[in-house]
Amino acid sequence: MNQEDRSVNVMIEQNNRLREKLVDENKVYYERLLVYVRTAGLFYDDYEVENLLLQILQDILSAQNDGQSAVDFFGKNPQMTANELIANLGKASWKEKLKLTLLVFTISSFFIILNILASPERGINILALFLNGLLSFLFIELIFLIVHKSIYLYKTFILFLLLWLSFSIFIGLSVSIQLFSPSLLILFIPDAVGIGTISALLIGITITLCKRKRREWFPFVPFIYILGLIGIVSRLPATAGWMAGGSGKISIALFTGLGLILYWGLTFLFLRKKRENKWPIRQKEVQRNLGKRQKSPRRLFYGHHQWQLFCMVPAILRKSKTN
């Protein structure tokens, strides 16, 4: 993890710890505000967003210590006040916006390419690859917009209905792109090249995970390795014939299902540990990094704070209906 990521993530972890000091009423109030600000857009400066949220949290804690509630301190219309603050946030540079766009395309393309490499008879449709990357970017923007606009509606059912419809449409369009995109440019990968490419991808993932130590990526690892191993075994001369038969296809389906189960299980454990705050950071690291001004784009779903953010939404909405 580079210094830029660490500076922002340190503030997020400090925010997570300080929020536990809020009383229930103030915590619901602040967490709803937090989700609203973080989902305001994809291209706001991460440092400014998290610095603003941390300052608001510290002010609310100070008011709480003085016997003042968050509503009395920040106002009964936090959405309007938040909009004024968001309007003053800095935007990421065009370079950072381009990097973020390429990141979305790279991640969405990676899983498609790996899935295609696991099936030797399939070629890579370049047009479908581009369209799927574009769809992924638009989908992420849509999810942010839905959560941002819905967080102050206090209607859990409407939010989940919109999210469910969005996911369903995204999956349907993704499948349609793969099935119906014109075969204008199909790239077929020879078996030897395919094995080398898959091996390079798996090695690259392993090195990246060991270097960056991003825990939020771990749930994907079993599924990625299973797809990679399926691709390699399907291309080896000694096993290619068996993998193409009925028994081989059943094995592929079973192992793919196992990969998905492991992904869901590890994701559940990851989110539970985040809620229990079992991964604290050192106080010296907090003090060393908070004063450093860094810029970075919004990290979408690929940062651990965004995992936590979207898991917070249903709890916030549920609690708000009982207060």
The pair of structure tokens assigned to 48 is 């400014």
Q: Is the pLDDT of residue 38 over 70?
A: yes
3-state helix vs strand vs coil in the chain, percent to 5: 75, 0, 25
Cβ atoms of residues 91 and 44 within 8 Å: yes
Q: How far is it, in rounded angstroms, from Cα 315 to Cα 304? A: 18
Cross-strand bridge partners of residue 124: 187
- Say which residue the tokens 């959560």 belong to: 147
pLDDT given for residue 308 in this prediction: 46
Cβ atoms of residues 8 and 50 within 8 Å: yes
For residue 178, the tally of other CB atoms under 10 A from its CB is 17
The pair of structure tokens assigned to 88 is 């003053």
More confidently predicted of 312 and 107: 107
Poorest-pLDDT segment among 167-171, 257-261, 285-289: 285-289
DSSP 215: G
Q: Is the pLDDT of residue 294 over 90?
A: no
Q: Which of 308, 314, 264, 259 is nearest to 19 (CA)?
A: 308
The pair of structure tokens assigned to 316 is 């916030």
pLDDT given for residue 55 in this prediction: 92
Residues 284-302, mean pLDDT to the nearest whole number = 41
Percentage of residues in the chain having pLDDT higher than 90: 10
Digit-coded pLDDT (tens) for 188-208: 888 888 899 889 988 988 888
Digit-coded pLDDT (tens) for 115-149: 777 777 778 888 888 888 888 888 888 888 888 88
Poorest-pLDDT segment among 73-77, 96-100, 227-231: 96-100
The pair of structure tokens assigned to 22 is 């809020």
Rounded to 5°, angle at Cα 178 from 174 and 180: 110
**Can you give the three-state secondary structure of 257-294, one letter per residue?**
HHHHHHHHHHHHHHHHHHHCCCCCCCHHHHHHHCCCCC
**Which one-letter amino acid corresponds to residue 160?**
F
Bridge-based pairing state of the strands 186-187 and 124-125:
antiparallel
Q: Is the pLDDT of residue 274 over 90?
A: no
